[in-house]
Amino acid sequence: MLTGRLLVATPQIEEGVFHRSVVLILDHSDSGAQGVVLNRPLGAPVDSVLPGWQELATQPDHVFHGGPVQTDSALGLVAVPGEGQAPMGVRRLFGGIGVVDLDAPPPLVASEVGGLRIFAGYAGWTAGQLEGEIRTGSWYVVEAEARDAFTDSPEDLWVRVLRRQRNELAFVSTYPADPTLN
């Protein structure tokens, strides 16, 4: 399964929310997959959506467009230090990544997490849908690094993730934004 890995949009996806997107897969099973787009910051500060969480937000401290599903809801992704039990108000997903209960008081989790990113919506796939998109060449599947989810320069993430690959995918990082101008 792909939980904890990255989906990197191929140049085949030419427009929309997934154009040059990098998606962290939060859950993948036989019934489908869910993830968040890591490189689509919105202009809204976190406090405009979730008062009290701004100080905990990792830079850039804006709300991110997590994907086209349930864009009227928020998901808080956090870095959870250590390997033990997740702190109160946090559910560990994999490794050092968890989701925070955004109804919890921010001071309750402030000292327990190493980073916070707020997403409006998420990306979701039904059973077999993601696998089909991968087969048809819409996504590259690569390993995630800890800093990907909380990068301070999300606009460069697509290029950086591809460039660090040790195969022909590194060359895709040079693909022009508009191939007609090439």
Q: Is 180 a residue whose pLDDT tops 70?
A: no
Count of structural domains, the chain: 1
Q: What is the 3-state secondary structure (H, E, C) of 114-157?
A: CEEEEEEEEEEEECCHHHHHHHCCCEEEEECCCCHHHCCCHHHH
Query: What CATH number is attached to the domain comprising 138?
Result: 3.40.1740.10
Residue-number span of the structural domain to which 94 is assigned: 5-181
- Burial code (b: 16+ CB inside 10 Å, e: under 16) for 78-89 equals bbbeeeeebbeb
Give residue-wise pLDDT tens across range 69-103: 999 999 999 998 877 777 888 999 998 999 999 99
> Percent of the chain beyond pLDDT 70?
97
Q: Are 138 and 67 in contact (CB under 8 A)?
A: no
Q: Is 177 a residue whose pLDDT tops 90?
A: no
Mean pLDDT of the chain: 92
Identify the CA nearest to 114 among candidates 150, 152, 79: 79
Give residue-wise pLDDT tens across range 18-52: 999 999 999 999 999 999 999 999 989 999 999 99
pLDDT of residue 179: 65
Phi, psi torsion values for 21, nearest 5 degrees: -90, 160
